[in-house]
């Protein structure tokens, strides 16, 4: 038993795991019969969705700026209070188009602690991502380190609002202005979140959302660029449609970034239930926090409750010097119990190809990123998860940490 562990009302029920041999990783029955996933899609009213699908079929208008896409864009603009929303087929293409429209080239500063799409969207256009370290308190790009990475080839900065917690927007805006750089935000995690009382989507030159199935609000696949800049918005609209300005008239280089009507139908249906989704996520977040409180070496990430937040990620930092278990061992234990916890952004973009080959020593400048990628894990949440399930997941974690040294030795023994 870990000496610092606090007595808790939710000490693991002896029926759940009477001793460590009954952990599923050692051959016991898993606590859950079916898998609990991170990224299980939230689905709003099935009735409304199917009605919209029927409307699409009746209209025989499936894509190319259809009525549902237009309605979806207006709803997002109203909700965020932004002038322009341009819906797209996914967040990655939206990033690529945003990068192109901002005329970024040469080098762009990005965090390595992000989904690979942020870096690839640059490299895809032969722009070099220059990886910047993060602030360990926020997990976001550290503005104090950004300026050191600027060279004569730098044209922009991409901040990522990781977990839906906005970057230090004010500092990044100052740095961008001072150095005449473009500022883009990858807001894939932060739809429905605010920064200093203003909705994310209003900052920098533009911001990009992802509405992928695994996001708390989804359009199957989908994304959007939002901006308050009229000129940029007009160009983005051309770019996502091959550069067509009316029939047979191409006036700009473009690609196919269009959102389909089925995606917009899903989006409109999801928007009707947005409050329900965030309320469920908030309830889960509070329950996880309550139940994980006091487990030594397990630190759940907190959200600023004075801001709007989607609470879509339940993130734990595992300090293995205290838990005796590594983050990866804890993930293994949870997986065996059918809790499909995920490592996040592991091993960091700088350790993935082609960046690993291009910058083999990038890690030397990214000490906080290197630490965090080994500590972070994400737990299931969303509308499909009940309090009982959260209780059991937390009991497994508590039990694993209580018996960390024993479990760890047994796992090591097994590997021999
Ligand atoms: N920037 C950032 C910061 C991002 O996080 C992302 C995307 C992007 C940019 C790019 O946006 P998009 O182009 O994707 O719109 C997911 C998603 O593919 C990706 O959208 C997301 N971030 C990234 C963090 O994760 P995986 O590899 O986790 O997906 P997968 O297939 O392993 O699914 C995860 C879990 O979700 C599964 O265990 C089961 C569950 N699931 C998944 C799907 C697709 C379902 O229950 N139903 C489903 O339909 O990539």
Transcribe 69-131 into DSSP letters. Answer: HHHHHHHHHHHHT-SEEEEES-HHHHHHHHHHHTT--SEEEEESSS-HHHHHHHHTTTPEEEE
CB of 117 shorter than 6 A to ligand 1: yes
pLDDT for residue 19: 87
- What is the atom index within ligand 1 of the atom nearest the CA of 92? 13
Handedness of CA 85, 90, 95, 101 (dihedral sign): negative
pLDDT for residue 5: 45
- Please tell me whether the peptide bond between 347 and the residue prior to it is cis, using omega within 30 degrees of 0: yes
b/e code 211-225 from CB counts within 10 Å (16+ = b) = bbbebbbbbbbbbbb
* 39, 163, 211, 381: residue to mutate for ligand 1 pocket, most atoms within 8 A of CB: 39
Order of all β-strands in the sheet with 84-88: 84-88, 223-227, 206-210, 182-186, 154-160, 107-111, 128-132
CB of 301 shorter than 6 A to ligand 1: no
pLDDT for residue 18: 80
- What is the atom index within ligand 1 of the atom nearest the CA of 93? 13
**Contact between residue 284 and residue 381 where contact means Cβ atoms under 8 Å apart:** yes
- What is the atom index within ligand 1 of the atom nearest the CA of 162? 3
Please tell me the distance from the alpha carbon of residue 43 to that of residue 267, in angstroms, as a whole number: 10
Find the helix or strand (DSSP H, E) in which 232 lies: helix 230-239
Cα of 377 to ligand 1 centre, how many Å? Answer: 15
Cα of 212 to ligand 1 centre, how many Å? Answer: 6
- Given a cut of 70, the residues of the chain with pLDDT beneath it are 1-15
**Contact between residue 162 and residue 139 where contact means Cβ atoms under 8 Å apart:** yes
22: left (phi over 0), alpha (psi -120 to 50) or beta: alpha
pLDDT for residue 61: 97
207: which strand partners? 185, 226
CB of 232 shorter than 6 A to ligand 1: no
* 129, 211, 214: residue to mutate for ligand 1 pocket, most atoms within 8 A of CB: 214
CB of 350 shorter than 6 A to ligand 1: no
pLDDT for residue 84: 98
Please tell me the distance from the alpha carbon of residue 252 to that of residue 27, in angstroms, as a whole number: 61
Please tell me the distance from the alpha carbon of residue 40 to that of residue 213, in angstroms, as a whole number: 8
pLDDT for residue 415: 74
Residue with the smallest CA separation from ligand 1 atom 25 is: 214
CB of 90 shorter than 6 A to ligand 1: yes
pLDDT for residue 412: 84
Beta-carbon neighbour count of residue 62 at 10 Å?
11
CB of 91 shorter than 6 A to ligand 1: yes
CB of 44 shorter than 6 A to ligand 1: no
């Amino acid at each position: 038993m870990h000496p610092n562990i606090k007595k808790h009302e939710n000490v693991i029920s002896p029926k759940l795991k009477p001793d460590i041999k009954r952990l599923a990783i050692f051959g016991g029955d898993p606590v859950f019969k079916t898998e609990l996933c991170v990224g299980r899609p939230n689905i709003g009213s099935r009735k409304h969705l199917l009605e919209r699908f029927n409307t699409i079929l009746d209209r025989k208008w499936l894509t190319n700026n259809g009525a549902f896409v237009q309605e979806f864009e207006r709803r997002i603009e109203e909700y965020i209070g932004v002038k322009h929303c341009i819906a797209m087929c996914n967040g990655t293409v939206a990033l690529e188009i945003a990068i192109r429209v901002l005329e970024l080239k040469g080098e762009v500063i990005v965090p390595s602690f992000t989904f690979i799409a942020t870096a690839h969207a640059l490299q895809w256009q032969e722009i070099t991502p220059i990886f910047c370290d993060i602030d360990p308190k926020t997990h976001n790009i550290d503005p104090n380190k950004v300026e050191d990475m600027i060279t004569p080839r730098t044209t922009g900065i991409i901040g990522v609002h990781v977990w839906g917690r906005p970057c230090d927007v004010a500092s990044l805006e100052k740095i961008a202005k001072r150095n005449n750089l473009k500022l883009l935000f990858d807001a894939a995690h932060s739809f429905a979140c605010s920064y200093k009382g203003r909705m994310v989507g209003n900052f920098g030159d533009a911001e990009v959302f992802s509405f992928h199935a695994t996001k708390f609000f989804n359009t199957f696949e989908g994304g959007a660029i939002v901006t308050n800049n009229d000129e940029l918005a007009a160009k983005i609209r051309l770019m996502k449609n091959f550069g067509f300005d009316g029939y047979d008239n191409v006036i700009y280089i473009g690609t196919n970034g269009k959102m389909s009507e089925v995606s917009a139908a899903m989006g409109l249906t999801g928007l009707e239930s947005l409050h329900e989704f965030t309320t469920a996520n908030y309830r889960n977040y509070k329950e996880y926090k309550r139940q994980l409180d006091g487990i030594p070496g397990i630190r759940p990430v907190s959200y600023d409750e004075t801001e709007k937040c989607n609470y879509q990620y339940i993130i734990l930092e595992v300090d293995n010097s205290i838990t005796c278990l590594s983050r990866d061992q804890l993930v293994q234990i949870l997986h065996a119990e059918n809790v499909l916890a995920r490592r996040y952004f592991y091993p960091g973009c700088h350790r993935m190809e082609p960046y690993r080959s291009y910058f083999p020593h990038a890690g030397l400048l990214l000490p906080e990123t290197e630490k965090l990628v080994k500590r972070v894990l994400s737990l299931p949440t969303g509308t499909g998860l009940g309090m009982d399930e959260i209780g059991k997941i937390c009991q497994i974690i508590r039990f694993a940490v209580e018996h960390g040294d024993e479990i760890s030795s047994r796992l090591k023994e097994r590997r021999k």
